[in-house]
Amino acid sequence: MWLKLVIGGVAGASLVGAALVLMFGLLGRPWDGRNLAERLGMPRPAIIAHRGASYLAPEETRPAFLLARELGASYLEFDIQRTQDGVLVALHDDDLSRTTNIAEIFPGRERDTVDTFTYAELQRLDAGTWFNLRHPARARSAFRDLKILRIEQILEIAESGSPRPGLYIETKAAHRYAGIERELVQLLTDRGWIQRGGAAMGARLVFQSFEPDSLARLKDLAPDVPRLLLVDEVMASEASWDGLVAQAAALGQGIGTWGARWALGPHWSKKLGGARYVATWPWYTGRAHRAGLIVHCWTVDDRWEMWMVAAGGADGIFTNRPEVARAAYGGDAPDLPRLWQRIGYP
């Protein structure tokens, strides 16, 4: 009798043990991401306003960042490039054809890259009207003739917020801009976002790039600022998940993967080819966590996907829709008309 009980107990305990090993091995341990974020001083889930609140306002413009700030986004996300005369500006695309009226102002230069324009030339462009034309249901007359922002203007928006959002800065097409990392670090140091001597303000500042070399330079210049390697379909088709995780771990503290929707969609599935995987499945997230990396997914705009990536263990999302994310992650629904009024874009 006793022997049977002992054998039964040992067998039961072994089964439970095996199940736990299997579960945590496959799915990752839910507390890992929480511990990593806490150690970095990073909000979790981090709501990273992708190009500002860019579903409701023209991307990387003043109202997009102001609205994101007022919505309580953890971070304002933007892409930096440099003008011909050395000004750092926020712009995503290589050229100005999608998000400005360049064809009207500088005919023939529609496909010229940003670095071939001076800052004064960029200031002649209207970076808001395209949005009204493309999204009439979200159009606002106040978006007409918005300007491309220099980085200092975004810092001012963040600095005057209460609470103050963090900055999540991408060195975009960094191979085209020799020395841009040094200029960025200098600017952020002068403005107090990086403390002289190297220490950052907790994780209120994060660097990100698709270019490992750029992250390596940032690591040298500002070792205490967290860095996240972004991963795209080309990188994913050339390397295994574990290979990407190892690369990200050598360069920084995070990995930026696509969200579930993109990986499940036919476009991406095709592009990912042999390396097709949904990086936000918990067993992938778990492996990143075990390598000491936080996981932030881009670009997650639907509530179902916000829940899905969170359930998979992701530590935050890049989103064009911080207003949706705030509600999805347990906040209240924002009073948008009041916020528009408050930031001066009624």
> Where along the sequence are the contacts to ligand G3P (CB under 6 A)?
50, 77, 79, 92, 170, 208, 230, 256, 298-299, 318
Query: How many whole angstroms separate alpha carbon 270 and alpha carbon 275?
Result: 10
Packed helices 62-70 and 151-159: angle between N→C axes, nearest 10 degrees:
20
Q: How many residues bind Ca ion (CB under 5 A)?
A: 2
Query: How many whole angstroms separate alpha carbon 209 and alpha carbon 176?
Result: 13
Smaller CB separation from Ca ion, 206 or 278 = 206
Instruction: Report the partner that residue 180 touches, choosing among ligand G3P, Ca ion, none (CB closer than 5 to 8 A by kind).
Output: none
* Residue 58: Cβ within 10 Å count: 26
Instruction: Report the partner that residue 126 touches, choosing among Ca ion, ligand G3P, none (CB closer than 5 to 8 A by kind).
Output: none
Return the residue nearest ligand G3P (CB atom).
Answer: 298
Instruction: Report the partner that residue 299 touches, choosing among Ca ion, ligand G3P, none (CB closer than 5 to 8 A by kind).
Output: ligand G3P
Give residue 283's identity as a one-letter amino acid code.
Answer: W
Instruction: Report the partner that residue 318 touches, choosing among Ca ion, ligand G3P, none (CB closer than 5 to 8 A by kind).
Output: ligand G3P
Smaller CB separation from ligand G3P, 93 or 156 = 93
Smaller CB separation from ligand G3P, 99 or 208 = 208
Q: Is 70 in the site for Ca ion (CB under 5 A)?
A: no
Q: Is 315 in the site for Ca ion (CB under 5 A)?
A: no
Give residue 10's identity as a one-letter amino acid code.
Answer: V
Smaller CB separation from ligand G3P, 92 or 289 = 92
Instruction: Report the partner that residue 62 touches, choosing among Ca ion, ligand G3P, none (CB closer than 5 to 8 A by kind).
Output: none
Instruction: Report the partner that residue 323 touches, choosing among Ca ion, ligand G3P, none (CB closer than 5 to 8 A by kind).
Output: none
Radius of gyration for the chain, computed over Cα atoms and rounded to the nearest angstrom: 22
Binding test (CB under 5 A) with Ca ion, winner from 170, 233, 301, 323: 170
Instruction: Report the partner that residue 117 touches, choosing among ligand G3P, Ca ion, none (CB closer than 5 to 8 A by kind).
Output: none
Contacts 24+ apart (CB under 8 A), 130-133: 130/58, 130/98, 130/99, 130/100, 130/101, 131/57, 131/58, 131/59, 131/99
Smaller CB separation from Ca ion, 258 or 340 = 258
Q: How far is the CB of 62 from ligand G3P (least distance, A)?
A: 19
Query: How many whole angstroms separate alpha carbon 27 and alpha carbon 20?
Result: 10
Q: How far is the CB of 81 from ligand G3P (least distance, A)?
A: 11
Instruction: Report the partner that residue 306 touches, choosing among Ca ion, ligand G3P, none (CB closer than 5 to 8 A by kind).
Output: none
Backbone phi and psi for residue 41, each to the nearest 5 degrees, phi listed first:
75, 35
Smaller CB separation from ligand G3P, 83 or 299 = 299
Q: 340: helix, coil or strand?
A: helix
Binding test (CB under 5 A) with Ca ion, winner from 59, 60, 70, 79: 79
Q: Is 60 in the site for Ca ion (CB under 5 A)?
A: no
- What is the per-residue burial (b if ≥16 Cβ within 10 Å, else e) of 30-55? eebbeebbeebebbbbbbbbbbbbbb
Q: How far is the CB of 170 from ligand G3P (least distance, A)?
A: 5
Q: How far is CA 133 from the centre of its chain?
A: 26
Q: Is 86 left (phi over 0), alpha (psi -120 to 50) or beta?
A: left
**Which window, 23-31, 102-110, 166-174, 267-275, contacts Ca ion (CB under 5 A)?**
166-174
Three-state SS for 201-235 is CCCCEEEEECCHHHHHHHHHHCCCCCEEEECCHHH
Strands 316-319 and 294-298: parallel
For binding to Ca ion (CB under 5 A), which residues are involved? 79, 170
